[in-house]
Chains A and B, each alone.
Chain A
Amino acid sequence: MGKKILLEHAEVPGIQGYEVYREKGGYRSVEKALKTMSAEQVVEEVKTSGVRGRGGAGFPAGMKWSFLAKPEGVPRYLVCNADESEPGTFKDRYLMSKIPHLLIEGMITASYALGANTSYIYIRGEYYYLIGILEKAIEEAYANGWLGKNILGTDFSHDLYVHPGAGAYICGEETALLESLEGKRGNPRMKPPFPAVKGLYDCPTVVNNVETIAAVVPIINDGGEAYANIGIGRSTGTKLISASGHIKKPGVYEVEMGLPVEEFIYSDEYCGGILNDKKLKAVVAGGSSVPILPADLILTTANGEPRLMSYESLSDGGFQTGTMLGSGGFIVMDETTNIAKNLYNFTRFYHHESCGQCSPCREGTAWMEKILHKVLAGKGSMEDIDLLWDIQTKIDGNTICPLGEAASWPVASAIRHFRQDFEELVKNPAGLDETRYYYHCNNINPEVA
């Protein structure tokens, strides 16, 4: 069994409630931090742990915290990113519904470290039912003295609120999230200034993913060094992987960084192998935005080393032969999948979710979707494949936020590794159905038209 430090108690009956959570050692990190450590020491401990942001970008959390500006008399904010909209990712939902107090505890300890007296959990609107669960946990935390004024008799006071989104992938991007939290459209901001200097209400702000904040709890309980000893190299700790697609056992798995990908896919402890014992064709390892890899390259690197679940190993070979750990949304496709069809699905998604601020993204995602639709309708040509390639190169790097890259990389990697799937559709148009794949049009506008 792999080491579990976040989900260790997730299956304990009653762990959703305060009593059982506390019995299992809950809220110790708050006690330890507030009573025996300075805020700076907590930040140092998180730095030592080497934990990297679990929202997708993998930026070291301790370093991000140490960048937080601290002007006199200006409030600072911690905002938890629970927007979780990257296709293939459902770990935050799992964590929040199974063990909500872990997130609340992490928020309090992290807020103490950052000197934030108010913090928000921004949760996607479709998770409305989870707000009830989180608010109940927050209420229990207030009732037991972990939130509110002068926590544990110290001079640290902290209020915590949950804020719902309303259906927009882009609001997972941290500056769009802050706009949305201010009651606006989710248009990403230009950076700099970074949120650490000018974030929520123009105040210094840290935005962290649910899983990153939850990891603060074991880091403070057991020390940063103990955390850094788990995992491999600069990929410290454990990672929650959301496994879906053509596998026998879809679900959320906590894996120690460094687990071989092959073991993750085929062992009964994790995915249990490919559905109906078919052959593996491709994997999107870190949510829809990361490059798709064919079976041979996801199992071993171009140098023939076994591929491991870690930031470094998954990105080994760059975009030519590698990918990224991303959000840990692990989508598996069997031999029957046509990758061009799957790409149409992703492209439709990015077109729908582009906020529309930057022309390359707004127009480019629309063109890519249209071209792929044409190919899927049996009306494509070989030039269309080259045109697709060309368009993605013109979005990549030319937008305010990384949604542009997120839309480009799947296209580039699908053509790079699976050109034959596109050609097959172009050469054999018989049986392709024009109407079947054109569902999105009603969703361009939020009204149901």
Chain B
Amino acid sequence: MSTEEIKFSEESLALVKKTIAKYPEGRQKSALLPILHLAQAEFDGWLSVPVMDYVASLLDIQPIEVYEVASFYSMFNLKPVGKCILEVCHTSSCWLRGADDIVDHISNKLNIKVGETTADGMFTLKTVECLGSCGSAPMLMCGSQYHEHLTFEKVDGLIDNLRNENKRTTYLDEVKVENY
């Protein structure tokens, strides 16, 4: 992919403009995180070097300023990932309530290890740190949606659903807030 082929949709470009306007003049770099989120959602779920260079050009900053930021934050993927990333929280409160078993279950079911993607490019399994859902442990996040009070059955149902929908999930997806 060369840089010329990479361009946000008109809709996203309007959002970029609106985002930059939230910050004082000359401080457009502040918009970097939200725009990287937008880019990751629009360009196949990860940030390639050409995509990062494109974001740098939009914000009128150096590419290195984008690389150093993208590599710092754990929500940004710097390599291709599956359509759906199953991000299982494995921090204490979830661990106390069986997070390791959930990780093992997904790993066995999809036949991938943590950090790997299924051969069909559908799922990536990832472990993540506390997502602020400790009271509903164990839990995982897929796209922007939290899946809480997990059991093996719930996980199986979720994986079936995602496979049937066959859509890329992103952090920017709209979410129906369950009864909290």
The residues of A with any CB-CB pair to B shorter than 8 Å are: 75, 84-90, 92-94, 97-98, 118, 124-129, 132-133, 161, 163-169, 180-186, 201, 242-246, 250-252, 284, 288, 329, 331, 333, 337, 342, 345-346, 349, 352-353, 355, 436, 439-443, 445-449
Decide if B135 touches A128 in the complex (CB within 8 Å).
Answer: no
CB distance from A92 to the nearest CB of B (A): 8
Minimum CB–CB distance for B168 against chain A, Å: 15
The contact size tier of chain B is 35 or more
Q: Is B156 an interface residue (CB 8 A)?
A: no
Asked whether B132 lies within 8 Å of A126 as measured between CB atoms, the reply is yes
A-B pairs with beta carbons under 8 Å apart, 15 shown? A87-B91, A125-B73, A128-B144, A132-B174, A161-B22, A164-B33, A165-B73, A166-B75, A167-B74, A168-B73, A185-B68, A246-B96, A288-B91, A345-B92, A446-B77
Question: A85, B130: Cβ atoms under 8 Å?
Answer: yes
Q: Complex: how many Å from CA A343 to CA B16? A: 43
B136 on the interface (CB 8 Å rule)? yes
Beyond the given A443-B128, A448-B79, please list 16 additional residue pairs across the A-B interface where CB-CB is below 8 A.
A85-B132, A87-B91, A89-B134, A93-B133, A97-B180, A132-B174, A168-B74, A182-B27, A245-B92, A288-B92, A333-B96, A337-B96, A439-B90, A442-B115, A442-B127, A446-B75
The CA-CA distance from A367 to B79 in the complex, in Å, is: 28
B 74-85 to A, binary, CB cutoff 8 A, 1 in contact else 0: 111111010001
- CA separation between A352 and B177, bound complex, in Å? 29
- In the complex, residue of chain A having the shortest beta-carbon distance to the beta carbon of B180: A97
Report the separation of the CA atoms of residues A89 and B134 in the bound assembly, to the nearest whole angstrom. Answer: 7
Of chain A, the residue at the smallest CB distance from B134 is A244
Contact (A127, B33) CB under 8 Å given A165-B73, A342-B92, A446-B77:
no
Are B71 and A242 in contact, with the CB atoms below 8 A? no
CA distance A140 to B94 in the complex (A): 36
Q: Shortest Cβ distance from A119 into chain B, in angstroms?
A: 11
Residues of chain A within 8 A of B95, CB atoms compared: 342, 345
Which of chain B's residues have a CB closer than 8 A to the CB of A164?
A: 33-34, 37
- Chain B residue with Cβ nearest A350: B129
User: For residue A118, which residues in chain B have a CB less than 8 angstroms away from its CB?
Assistant: 24
Given the complex, which residues of A lie within 8 Å of B74, measured CB to CB? 166-168, 352, 443, 446
Known contacts A168-B73, A442-B115, A443-B74; is A242 also within 8 Å of B135 by CB?
Answer: yes
